[in-house]
Amino acid sequence: MPVILNSEKASQLIEEIIKHSEETLSIMIPVFRLSAPLFGLLKDAAGRGIRIKIIFSSDELDDFEKKEISELEHVEICCCTEINAKCYFNEKDMIITSVDIHNFYENKNGDISIGISKNEDEVLYEDAMQLYNSFYESSIILISENSKSQHKTVPAASAYHGFCIRCAMPITFNLSKPYCRQCMNQVKEESLDNKPENYCHSCAAKTSTSLSSPQCKDCSN
């Protein structure tokens, strides 16, 4: 049956879910933030060949963090603006919680979590996973585990996959909108038309681009 967890036990379960994943790791969070401990765990899981799927409503990542997470193998990152819940699970265990995954190790008081074991309550586990999958089906895929353009060239137009020309965050390929949401807000505040940017929208190569010319010479030909 489901187990009510305090902050300490919730932190332990979150770490176990990540470390003991055998094939898949799924994370659903309203706001995607990174910390060094979380990135270390995700990098280790990706290195073991674990397929990681992260769905979020918005992010608070800096440019360096965006580059780091997008370069991990076996990671799929999606955006769904409807998400308000936090849910983390692997093939065996799930936690529905108020704990932010980026600082789960801090053991803050005031959090309430429910731990679900698939072996002990398969029906509830599957019901929760179906809800997770419904969010996934309605999400926009920002980066697919099968299209890592930092490591190999993938035709962006055919994969419907692009990169922010300011920070290289993986985004939907759209030549008229070559910025991620966070950088677009910065551009609006700057009120500068056609400001020089840093990356190719198609391949993420480090090069001079702009809103009117968002691709490198190779990709624009």
Q: pLDDT (tens digit, 9 = 90+) per residue, 17-67?
A: 999 999 999 999 999 999 999 999 999 999 999 999 999 988 777 767 877
**Alpha helix ranges (H) inside 57-108:** 63-70
Closest CA to 69 of 93, 25, 38, 30: 38
Q: pLDDT (tens digit, 9 = 90+) per residue, 124-156?
A: 999 999 999 999 988 888 777 654 433 333 333
**CA 107 from centre of chain:** 23
In Å, how far are 114, 129, 174 from 168, measured between CA atoms? 37, 31, 14
Is residue 102 within 8 Å of residue 12, measured between CB atoms? Answer: no
* Class of the CATH-defined domain 3-143: alpha beta
**What is the spatial distance between Cα 72 and Cα 114, in angstroms, rounded to a whole number?**
29
Q: How many CB atoms lie within 10 A of CB 29?
A: 21
Ranges of each domain in the chain: 3-143, 156-213
| pTM exceeds 0.75, yes or no | no
